[in-house]
A and B are shown apart, each in its own frame.
Chain A
Amino acid sequence: MDDFVDGLSEVTCDVLVIGGGTAGPMAALKAKQKNPALNVVLLEKANVKRSGAISMGMDGLNNAVVPGYATPEQYTKEITIANDGIVDQAPVFKYAARCYDIIQELDRFGIRFQKDANGDFDLKKVHHLGTYVLPMPNGETVKKALYRQLKRERILISNRIMATRLLTAKDGRIAGAVAVNTRTAEFLVLRAKTVILCMGAAGRLGLPHSGYLFGTYENPTNSGDGYAMAYHAGAALANLECYQINPLIKDYNGPACAYVAGPFGAYTANAEGKRFIESDCWSGQMMQEFYNELQSGKGPVFLKLNHLHPDTVGEIADILHRVERPSRGRFHEARGTDYRERMIEMHISEIGFCSGHSASGVFVDEYARTTVSGLYAAGDMASVPHNYMLGAFTNGAVAGEHAAEVAQEIDLPDYDADFVRLERERILAPTRRTDGIPPNQLEYKARRLVNDYLQPPKVTARMQIGQARLAEVREDFDMALVARNAHELLRALEVSSILDCADMAAHASLYRTESRWGLYHNRVDYPEKDDENWFCHTLLRKVDGRMVSEKRAIQPYIVPIETEERTAYERLRVSNQA
């Protein structure tokens, strides 16, 4: 294993789904169910059984819109406000209206949700305004349940295949993708009528404080390959300056409080044990307050559970240590930390792109269509804000159904053989060198520069230096990167995506000359929110080989927002502290 094998093969399908984490399996299922005659291929860089953000499961739904608890109108309003108004509501509303069907379907798959004595779904209030959190008592079974469905529908799964670039036809529409076997470096051309990108967040962008490259909040396989591929295919990417930054346990990549421990009475506190934010629900505004407290004389910040009954703490620990991040108990045990005795130190995560938690993604409409004909995106990498795991499932379903409908109407597009030849040369270049810079060193340097120059608070001159330094690393990538086996080549190709994402992060952040979304886009030299000039999306794309940004108007709201409501997330700080 890992030795280079020279090979080039071609596969043809109708619908190609890239990424087998959360959105991808659902997209593949729905495409196949829409038209069982279609040939649907699911491509995965790791193994669909345990890939993506939910490899070990998930403890609950953060954004369930369940009749009796919330309406699609309320949810659309909540997300619009949480995202500072920069929202096309149509995809959010569509998600909100559809997700209850998906919840019921997942329940039938065997992923059970918490129910009360009457057999009704038992939701918890965590968000600032509405009630959307639905626990999953057997959340560790999610991936297994999905895998069973994929087998039942006879979806063709290709594991350990990493897509690197999209193929486009002369008329600009999508024609497939090129990919590499991560264990042999064999080259693969996948022709398709429609392609759905479900490749997760760009979670390996910033460097965690520990310095460990793979200690990221996101599954580090989510290295931003989907963002890079969409960019190089000419698709528009929206609001990339609205970074993902999350509150985590210090040194451990587990989220802490809001959705699991919050409903039991735990909260985020300062060193005095006092609450300083009204709502622990994740938003840029909440992160700004978190950051302020962290830097203040009352810092650092803690997760506080030691005021709760020991049995309650036990119940919380059981969830936190079993699902999503099951190694968390080991982390605390090694440090001798007991939730019952003292507060748990927290910190903020490295930066990334992720619409699951913020709004930075490949621009999509309410059918999950990108701006490239035949190309779809869903899940953490698509621009539907704050859409979490249930958003990945729901929008994956939307994408799968639409991509299947389109695929059955069109012929297989031709692709440019010359492009494939050049891409193969690009990919194999690091394998043709015998010495140079290994991918781990190049990655460390790139991500250290991201931390030094691109993470907020954002300063113009600093970001410009970052761009220049990152350009030097890119030159090293092009001229000196060496991969001695197929595994190192996999890492090298991921570094290529990381460099693309770093460039996009800098470019997008410099373009929006205002501050918005709290900490996510806190530009110190443009400290005010400027609705007059910047109440709009920013779209970034590749035009004639160059990165350009432009403004795009927000679509008229379907659900109107009152002025008083619009600022609800700006009043998160506990008032007696202000």
Chain B
Amino acid sequence: MPLALSPTAVPVVVDEAKCIADKGCTVCVDVCPLDVLRISDLTSKAYMKFDECWYCMPCETDCPTGAVTVNIPYLLR
């Protein structure tokens, strides 16, 4: 069976102006229990690659520059 993509609004938002992943920071990617954050090859900034969030907040709490915001996933809101 061929695969299709279903769009989804992701709960974790990264402020690219504040994110210092391009300087080598990987804190949010490291601490996420679900391992859903990645550093973008295009922008060198962190982003939510997989919509598999427990909205538990280590990414936001541990981010050294306050670049990460965790929102409640739309289906729960």
Binding site for B on A (CB under 8 A): 1-2, 46-47, 49-52, 55-56, 160, 182-183, 210-216, 219-221, 251-253, 325-327, 330-331, 334-335, 435-438, 480, 482, 487, 490-491
Q: Determine the distance from Cα of A215 to Cα of B11 in the docked complex, in whole angstroms.
A: 12
Q: Determine the distance from Cα of A213 to Cα of B55 in the docked complex, in whole angstroms.
A: 12
Could you give 30 example pairs across A and B, Cβ below 8 Å?
A47-B30, A47-B33, A49-B30, A50-B31, A52-B33, A55-B56, A55-B58, A56-B57, A56-B61, A210-B73, A212-B73, A212-B75, A214-B53, A215-B73, A215-B75, A215-B76, A220-B52, A251-B77, A252-B72, A252-B76, A253-B54, A327-B56, A327-B70, A331-B76, A334-B77, A435-B1, A435-B3, A436-B1, A482-B3, A487-B50
B34 touching A327 by the CB < 8 A rule?
no
B72 touching A327 by the CB < 8 A rule?
yes
The proximity string for B residues 52-71 relative to A, scoring 1 for CB distances below 8 Å and 0 otherwise, is: 11111110011000000011
B52 touching A213 by the CB < 8 A rule?
yes
Given contacts A212-B75, A215-B76, contact A46 B56 (CB under 8 A): no
Q: Determine the distance from Cα of A220 to Cα of B35 in the docked complex, in whole angstroms.
A: 11
Instruction: Please give me the residue from chain A that is nearest to B31 by CB atom.
Output: A50
- The B interface, classified by DSSP as helix, strand, loop or mixed, is loop
CB distance from A327 to the nearest CB of B (A): 4
CB distance from A180 to the nearest CB of B (A): 13
Q: How many residues of B contact A (CB 8 A)?
A: 28
Q: Determine the distance from Cα of A295 to Cα of B74 in the docked complex, in whole angstroms.
A: 27
Partner of A487, one of B35, B61, B72: B35
Partner of A334, one of B32, B38, B53, B72: B72
A56 touching B35 by the CB < 8 A rule?
no
A220 touching B76 by the CB < 8 A rule?
no
B75 touching A51 by the CB < 8 A rule?
no
CB distance from A150 to the nearest CB of B (A): 15
A327 touching B30 by the CB < 8 A rule?
no
Instruction: Please give me the residue from chain B that is nearest to A327 by CB atom.
Output: B55
CB-CB under 8 A from B34, the residues of chain A are 46, 214, 220-221
Asked if B2 is an interface residue, CB under 8 A from chain A, the answer is yes
